[in-house]
Amino acid sequence: MKICINGYRGRMGQTIAETAIEAGHEITGKIDIGDDLTAALEQSDVVIDFSFHTVTRSVFETAAKLGKPIVCGTTGHTQEEKTALLEIAKAVPTVWAGNFSIGVNLLCYLTEKAAAILPISYNAEITEMHHRLKKDAPSGTALMLAESVLGPRGLNYDDIQHGREGVPGERGEREVGMHSLRGGDVVGDHTILFADIGERIELTHKASSRAIFSRGAVRAAEWTIGKEPGIYSIRDVLGLA
Quickly count helices (H) and strands (E) in the chain: 8, 11
Does residue 134 have an active-site annotation?
yes
Residue 10 as a binder of ligand NAD (CB under 6 A): the answer is yes
Q: What is the rounded CA–CA span in Å between residue 239 and residue 216?
A: 12
Q: What is the rounded CA–CA span in Å between residue 173 and residue 169?
A: 12
Q: What is the rounded CA–CA span in Å between residue 23 and residue 174?
A: 45
Binding mask 181-210 for ligand NAD (x = CB under 6 A): ------------------------------
User: Rounded to the nearest whole angstrom, what is the least distance from the CB of residue 202 to ligand NAD in the complex?
Assistant: 22
Residue 177 as a binder of ligand NAD (CB under 6 A): the answer is no
CA angle 118, 234, 154 (to 5 degrees): 30
Q: What is the rounded CA–CA span in Å between residue 221 and residue 224?
A: 5
Residue 138 as a binder of ligand NAD (CB under 6 A): the answer is no
Q: Which stretch binds ligand NAD (CB under 6 A): 97-105, 114-122, 174-182, 197-205?
A: 97-105
User: Rounded to the nearest whole angstrom, what is the least distance from the CB of residue 117 to ligand NAD in the complex?
Assistant: 27
CA dihedral 138, 57, 13, 92 (to 10 degrees): 110
Residue 100 as a binder of ligand NAD (CB under 6 A): the answer is yes
Nearer Cβ to ligand NAD (1/102):
102
Restricted to residues 36-55, the positions that interact with ligand NAD (CB under 6 A) are 50-52, 55
Residue 29 as a binder of ligand NAD (CB under 6 A): the answer is no
Q: Which of 228, 140, 121, 208 is nearest to 178 (CA)?
A: 140
User: Rounded to the nearest whole angstrom, what is the least distance from the CB of residue 210 to ligand NAD in the complex?
Assistant: 6
Q: What is the rounded CA–CA span in Å between residue 5 and residue 51?
A: 9
Residue 76 as a binder of ligand NAD (CB under 6 A): the answer is yes
Does residue 205 have an active-site annotation?
no
Residue 33 as a binder of ligand NAD (CB under 6 A): the answer is yes
Q: Of these residues, 25, 68, 77, 130, which one is catalytic?
A: 130
Residue 32 as a binder of ligand NAD (CB under 6 A): the answer is yes
Q: What share of the chain is helix, strand, coil (3-state, %, to 5)?
A: 40, 25, 35
Q: What is the rounded CA–CA span in Å between residue 75 and residue 100?
A: 12
Q: Which residue is nearest to ligand NAD (CB)?
A: 10
User: Rounded to the nearest whole angstrom, what is the least distance from the CB of residue 236 to ligand NAD in the complex?
Assistant: 15
Q: Which of 41, 33, 34, 35 is nearest to 60 (CA)?
A: 41
Using CB under 6 A, list all residues that contact ligand NAD: 6-7, 9-13, 31-33, 50-52, 55, 73-76, 97-100, 136, 140, 213
Q: Catalytic amino acids?
A: 130, 134
